[in-house]
Amino acid sequence: MIVNEQVAIDHGLKKDEYAKICELLKRTPNITELGIFSAMWNEHCSYKSSRLHLKKLPTKGKQVIQGPGENAGVVDIGDNDAIVFKIESHNHPSFIEPYQGAATGVGGIMRDVFTMGARPIANLNSIHFGSPQHKKTKNLLRGVVHGIGGYGNCMGVPTIAGQTSFDSSYNGNILVNAMTLGLVKKDKIFYSKAAGLGKPVIYVGSKTGRDGIHGASMASASFDEKIEEKKPTVQVGDPFTEKLLLEACLELMAGDSIIAIQDMGAAGLTSSSIEMASKGNLGIEINLNKVPCREAKMTPYEIMLSESQERMLIVLENGKEDQAKKIFDKWNLDFAVIGKTTKSKKIELFFDNEQVADIPVNTLVENSPMYDRKWKKAKLPKKNKIKKEDLKNLKIIDVLKKVLSNPNVCSKEWIWQQYDHTVMGDTIQKPGGDSGVVRVHGTDKAIAASVDSSAVYCWAHPLTGGKQVVCESFRNLISVGAKPIAITNCLNFGSPENEENMGEFVECVQGIGEAAEYLKFPVVSGNVSFYNQTKEEGIKPTPSIGGVGLIKDYNKMITMDFKEVDNIVLVIGKTEGHIDQSLFARNILDEKNGPPPEINLFNEKNNGETLLKLIDADHIKSAHDVSIGGIITAVAKMCIKGNKGINLKKPKYLINEIEYFFAEDQGRYVIEVNKDSLKKVTDILNKNAVHYDELGTINKNQMFINEKTKVTIDELRTSNTKWLTSYMSK
């Protein structure tokens, strides 16, 4: 095939990008080379629109062993143990083919983690669908959940937490973000930096097929009417092979034969070989005839761009080939020496004794385009004045029931019951709480993880929204008694070529950065997913934050279920009555404008750290952060989980109960304390200048708002659990 500008454009490259390629090579690329450039220079692999802004994120910290730039981030949890973790999007494939798209998303992120030598110990996910009324939503939800379960369950890695939301902005572009945590010994972490000349380059895992060719390019484009035609670009997962690959890799890693290892994810053999060469500042030569292929007559172009799953590339020490091969034979996996490292600093590919590509590595990586895209700053919307008469006719219990059964608040048990969340025998907090918690096997330590996003807040004001998501992650970890360590982010946005979407990205990232910096909660890994839009309409900006924290003694873990009748319930943090952008405003008052709740980072940190002190001193019986739906929603959930009721007091200020109970002010937690320790708790709160209100006392099984207004917990539970199950069974 003759390469020209039109062919380059068909590959998703821009005219000037093609001109730059010709200039860098000092000639016209052949078709294989063009394919390689298009794969490396697309948004998904090159981060060309985001790099400039991502640089501003805080990525360092006392516990950070590895920040962004590797397969995943790594943090120190003491005793030579480290946690490897990352979140990644698989949005476009999941919309086209929900089962395989979601499954391979989970497979891909697990590979990123075990590539670094870590055994995956927990999976999480953040999934976002269109309006429940939209004709595609139900099937997409079912397919995605089956896909996530199908892959994770087979791998034997528990899925311990997640988030599901519905919003019409995802009607034409759902989001599937998968996160994995792995456990590794600090001195046995593997990296992707190749080193040494003449070292064998090894291909292991599944054979290469024609699936997923140009998957990364698809992920870098908007959807249009022709998406159905893109089905063949969705990869097909085989979790069984990945399980074998995991065990074989960990077995090989127990020895000392690996110099570098990199999984073949987006852009397959292309990006894995180039990344290893680039990091090691050397060249790699590959004989493509040696690559194990599933289909006959695959061309160099297809072999290089295939995104077949469950494959790894390894640079091995000389002379260790036989020993390594034995391990892969035992696990019935392909093993082939396909090339070697060279001093050329070029990617040189051979096929049928002919050179089919000859590209300097730096042209693909350092010289890849970087854009300072135009972006628009968002204005802080004006506050709405809520008319008191709008509130007068509302009955608090009816509103509460509506909120509890709202698709974005209701119980997601239908989903997480389909995920094996108990395999590996260390899950001590199941999905449905603030964070999932797994023990560090054989120790007293436990790791808490949660994944959060607040698209509505980010849409209303990206800077505030960006901060808020990080704070929410921080709170979710603290609510279970974990000290927050670090985060991974998955940044899902519309087109970077649209100034407003780009502005949302820039300001959300700024918000994330500010909060992460202040809370000492650095970003150690992540991924950017742009072009989440159909035709011209972009999704609400949806950064997903995956937070990881440490519980030093797992016996001190906190859950959110109310524990004991007569215990006192407090809310930490001040309630100002912020209603704009709350679930209450949007769904009950049908008011979609106004600013999101403000973030006060000082209070956020102070409230959280003080609560950790209280937990450490064994004063806290249960805790739950206050998020969408406000105080009363948080309390109701604690009642439902603990099968207890509560006598709520009349709020002392904010005369209107509705505002007090449904406001979404930030930095708040509901906590349960024993009467005997109440004085000690309030002393500590006062000493640390943490605002608190006493909410009420736990009773057997009813929620009393006042003497006349009451509801049984069973009724609230029905409101909370019914919606999703009945929606899915219709």
Partner 1 sequence: MKSSVITFPGSNCDRDMDVALKKFGFKNKMVWHDDVELPKSDLVVLPGGFSYGDYLRCGSMASKSKIMKSVINFANSGGMVMGICNGFQILVETGLVPGVLLRNKYLEFICKNIFVKINDKKNTYFKNIDSEILEFHIAHNEGNYFCTNDQLKEIEDNEQVAINYCDKEGKTEEKFNPNGSIKNIAGIFNKEKNVLGMMPHPERMIDPSLSGEDGSLFFNNLINNLK
Report the alpha-carbon distance of residue 285 to residue 12 in Å, rounded: 27
> Which of 417, 510, 697, 718 lies at the binding interface for partner 1 (CB under 8 A)?
417
Asked if 548 and 487 touch (Cβ cutoff 8 Å), the reply is yes
Beta strands 73-76; 64-66: pairing state: antiparallel
Using the rule CB under 8 A, give the single segment among 12-20, 50-58, 168-176, 328-336 that binds partner 1.
328-336
Report CA-CA distances (Å) from 484 to 316, 476, 479, 511, 700: 37, 9, 10, 18, 34
Q: Is the dihedral of CA 595, 600, 603, 609 positive or negative?
A: positive
Q: 116 or 155: whose CB is closer to partner 1?
A: 155
> Which of 76, 88, 238, 580 lies at the binding interface for partner 1 (CB under 8 A)?
238
Q: 509 or 640: whose CB is closer to partner 1?
A: 640
Using the rule CB under 8 A, give the single segment among 17-25, 325-333, 491-499, 508-516 that binds partner 1.
325-333
> Which of 122, 154, 194, 551 lies at the binding interface for partner 1 (CB under 8 A)?
154
Distance of closest approach, residue 99 Cβ to partner 1, in angstroms? 13
Is 53 a residue of the active site?
no
* Residue 153 binds to partner 1 (criterion: CB under 8 A): yes
Q: How many CA atoms lie within 13 A of 124 on its CB side?
A: 36
> Which of 4, 224, 232, 240 lies at the binding interface for partner 1 (CB under 8 A)?
240
* Residue 594 binds to partner 1 (criterion: CB under 8 A): no
Report the alpha-carbon distance of residue 146 to residue 93 in Å, rounded: 15
Size of the site for partner 1 (CB under 8 A): 33
Asked if 333 and 246 touch (Cβ cutoff 8 Å), the reply is no
* Residue 41 binds to partner 1 (criterion: CB under 8 A): no
Task: Identify the bridge partners of residue 125 per DSSP, sorted by sequence position.
Answer: 162, 178
Distance of closest approach, residue 723 Cβ to partner 1, in angstroms? 17
Task: Determine which helix (DSSP H) or strand (DSSP E) holds 711, and give its type and residue range.
Answer: strand 710-712
* Residue 144 binds to partner 1 (criterion: CB under 8 A): no
Report CA-CA distances (Å) from 121 to 159, 258, 295, 423: 9, 23, 34, 9
Report the alpha-carbon distance of residue 375 to residue 500 in Å, rounded: 6
Distance of closest approach, residue 147 Cβ to partner 1, in angstroms? 11
Query: Rounded to 10 degrees, what is the CA torsion of 16, 22, 28, 30?
Result: -80
Determine phi and psi for 428, rounding to 5 degrees: -110, -5
Task: Identify the bridge partners of residue 700 per DSSP, sorted by sequence position.
Answer: none
Distance of closest approach, residue 426 Cβ to partner 1, in angstroms? 8
CB neighbour burial string for 193-209, b if at least 16 within 10 angstroms, e if fewer: bbeeeebbbbbbbbbbb
> Which of 2, 319, 322, 332 lies at the binding interface for partner 1 (CB under 8 A)?
332
> Which of 243, 373, 461, 624 lies at the binding interface for partner 1 (CB under 8 A)?
243
Is 134 a residue of the active site?
no
Tell which positions 544-573 bind partner 1, by CB under 8 A. 554-555
Using the rule CB under 8 A, give the single segment among 161-169, 233-241, 571-579, 597-605 that binds partner 1.
233-241
Q: How many CA atoms lie within 13 A of 498 on its CB side?
A: 19
Q: Is 294 exposed, middle or buried (0-12, 13-18, 19+ CB in 10 A)?
A: middle
Q: For residue 681, what are its two tokens?
A: 């708790």
Distance of closest approach, residue 237 Cβ to partner 1, in angstroms? 11
Q: What angle do CA 592, 598, 603 make, to 5 degrees?
A: 150
* Residue 239 binds to partner 1 (criterion: CB under 8 A): yes
Distance of closest approach, residue 329 Cβ to partner 1, in angstroms? 11
Q: 530 or 554: whose CB is closer to partner 1?
A: 554
Q: 153 or 308: whose CB is closer to partner 1?
A: 153
Residue 501's CB is within 10 A of a number of other CB atoms, namely 23
Report the alpha-carbon distance of residue 71 to residue 69 in Å, rounded: 7
Closest CA to 298 of 268, 321, 331: 268
Distance of closest approach, residue 123 Cβ to partner 1, in angstroms? 13
* Residue 507 binds to partner 1 (criterion: CB under 8 A): no
Report the alpha-carbon distance of residue 623 to residue 480 in Å, rounded: 7
* Residue 724 binds to partner 1 (criterion: CB under 8 A): no
Q: 223 or 419: whose CB is closer to partner 1?
A: 419
Using the rule CB under 8 A, give the single segment among 99-107, 240-248, 370-378, 615-623 that binds partner 1.
240-248
Closest CA to 136 of 104, 168, 177: 168
* Residue 100 binds to partner 1 (criterion: CB under 8 A): no
> Which of 37, 99, 301, 331 lies at the binding interface for partner 1 (CB under 8 A)?
331
* Residue 718 binds to partner 1 (criterion: CB under 8 A): no
Q: 88 or 310: whose CB is closer to partner 1?
A: 310
Q: 556 or 680: whose CB is closer to partner 1?
A: 556
Q: Which of 90, 92, 214, 461 is catalytic?
A: 90
* Residue 730 binds to partner 1 (criterion: CB under 8 A): no
* Residue 149 binds to partner 1 (criterion: CB under 8 A): yes
> Which of 350, 419, 474, 493 lies at the binding interface for partner 1 (CB under 8 A)?
419
Q: Which of 11, 44, 92, 128 is catalytic?
A: 44
Task: Identify the bridge partners of residue 180 per DSSP, sorted by sequence position.
Answer: 86, 123
Tell which positions 420-479 bind partner 1, by CB under 8 A. 420-428, 430, 439
Report the alpha-carbon distance of residue 473 to residue 341 in Å, rounded: 42
Q: 83 or 428: whose CB is closer to partner 1?
A: 428
* Residue 241 binds to partner 1 (criterion: CB under 8 A): yes
Q: 330 or 679: whose CB is closer to partner 1?
A: 330
Q: For residue 105, what are its two tokens?
A: 């998303």
CB neighbour burial string for 693-726, b if at least 16 within 10 angstroms, e if fewer: bebbbbbeebbbbeeeeebebebbbebbbebbee
Q: 150 or 541: whose CB is closer to partner 1?
A: 150
* Residue 244 binds to partner 1 (criterion: CB under 8 A): yes
Q: 45 or 113: whose CB is closer to partner 1?
A: 113
Report the alpha-carbon distance of residue 302 to residue 208 in Å, rounded: 9
Tell which positions 65-84 bind partner 1, by CB under 8 A. none
Q: What residue ranges bind partner 1 (CB under 8 A)? A: 146, 149-150, 153-156, 238-241, 243-244, 330-332, 416-428, 430, 439, 554-555
Q: Which residues are catalytic?
A: 44, 90
